[in-house]
Amino acid sequence: MEHAPSAADRAALQHAWTDKLAAAEAMVPLIGRLYRRDDVVPSVYGRPLVGESPIGIVKAHRSTRRVDETELPVSESLAILTELDTMDVASASVDLADLAARHRADPLGTPLREFLEDELFLARGSSGDAPRPAPRDVVLYGFGRIGRMLARILLERAGEHAPLVLRAVVVRRRGPDDLVKRASLLRRDSIHGPFAGTVTVDTEHDTITANGTLVQFISADAPSAVDYRAHGIEDAIVVDTTGRWRDAEGLEQHLLAPGAGRVLLTAPGTGDLPNVVHGINHDAIGDAPVVSAASCTTNAIVPVLKAVSDAYGVVHGHVETVHSATNDQNLVDNYHPADRRGRAAGLNMVITATGAARAAEKALPELRGRLTGNAVRVPTPNVSLAVLHLTLARAVGRDELNGLLRDASLTSSLRRQIDYVESPEVVSTDFLGSRRAGVVDGLATIADGSEHVVLYVWYDNESSYSRQVHRILQEMAGGRATALPATPVGRRAAVRHVGGSLQTCGTSERSGSTWTAPSSTTAERPEPVRPGS
């Protein structure tokens, strides 16, 4: 018979918890200072710590058991942050867990400071002394659901070294209180809660100041009617969130406006317009003047499809998305040019078309002609669910398939896009505010050892998608940060710069993973996540 824990056992547990919490509390000002002063984003295996509470920091460290089978000591992260605070590490993404694991495994026993300096040298390479690119002006054309979500992200990321600066918002003025009402909609949101910061309105000059960023509001009825240069804006990326124009010809109207440089559409593009899903084909953006960020559903499913297709091959697939109601549906029964969308959105499930399958084929050409899709709009305000019915080139069991997707969410090049959860109680509201493009529900996976499988992927069709759009914006601005450690995530290697040459010590791949991450010198800096996610 086992003995009950003694008073000493309970005291030891409480003492250990207190020590963790104290270390996490000491990390908070370091994380904040590195972020605001140096544009450094610390994370734990892709889970960013910016804005996290001490409890959230402890939880992030506990989550490392999924990768290393042991919990990352908060004290080790604190030691790394303390050193980084006195180093020149401007504009960087720093994975504390991977750095700590590598330092522990270093057979040379390199002191922490020297180890971090070596990693920084390797990450920067020959561009170590290159000047930091100037911040890129961003203009939001439209200020609806996605426009305001993007504004929140850009304002949240504002700082001295931020690669993107929100300079203006273009709207169609609807009355004398237009600016006041739009500022109020930025401050308060029924779904995403209050804005994390302050908002000041200047109706005389048509500006708002949010978290220290001055944003000009411009009234216009057409893209070419705006003169951005008159407001000191030059070579701006114009983000069209209206969806009014979907082809290159329509969207190129924005380029006629003085001060506009490039255009990003937050909807699926038609014709030859590049449809980009970050993490999949963002390297193809190049210098394209007009780019589409595809749709929220496309961004949710394509990374998962890519992972599965690379591992098993996809012969055919059908995508059924259970999608929250959107603003283009009628609140009560009334005429609508699209079929069924005229029926009351709050009372009905509505079968409608989706272009997600076609857009997915643009991002993954190897699946061309192999996907079909449909959608059911349902009376919920946000968070949707994609159901992927796939026929694979070879048979696979549930555990193997889930293991692949779990690993993809932790250590692959798609870990910014794919998340994974196993819980018997998760429902749609649990994914509100998710920063990943899609979250695989492992317990719902159907795979019986045949070629036919079914996957369920949750996604916040507003927040998740807006994060993907922001990542594309960073690519277009050339503002991706240096990443530490300097070698791919998932490798347990101690890499040293010795006598002008590189020496790799004790390299080993994480067992069971079929994925390798891209060179972290080009890895995208991670996104903040809400506590408890």
Q: So which residues are the catalytic ones?
A: 296
Q: How far apart are CA 403 and CA 397, in angstroms?
A: 10
Cβ partners under 8 Å of residue 533, min gap 6: 433, 434, 435
CA gap 462, 274 in Å, rounded: 21
Q: Which of 224, 168, 135, 171 is nearest to 473 (CA)?
A: 135
How far, CA to CA in Å, does 372 sit from each of 54, 295, 441, 456, 526?
Answer: 45, 15, 21, 16, 32
Cα 36 to Cα 38: distance, rounded to the nearest angstrom: 6
In whole angstroms, what is the distance from residue 286 CA to residue 436 CA?
24
Q: How far apart are CA 218 and CA 171, in angstroms?
A: 6
Cα 59-466-24 angle, rounded to 5 deg: 20
Q: Which amino acid is at 342?
A: G
DSSP 370: S
- Tell me which residue has tokens 């370091």: 30
Q: Report which DSSP code applies to 481.
A: P
Q: Percentages helix, strand, coil for the chain, rounded to the nearest 5?
A: 35, 25, 40
CA atoms within 13 Å, Cβ hemisphere of 88: 5
CB 3 within 8 A of CB 9: no
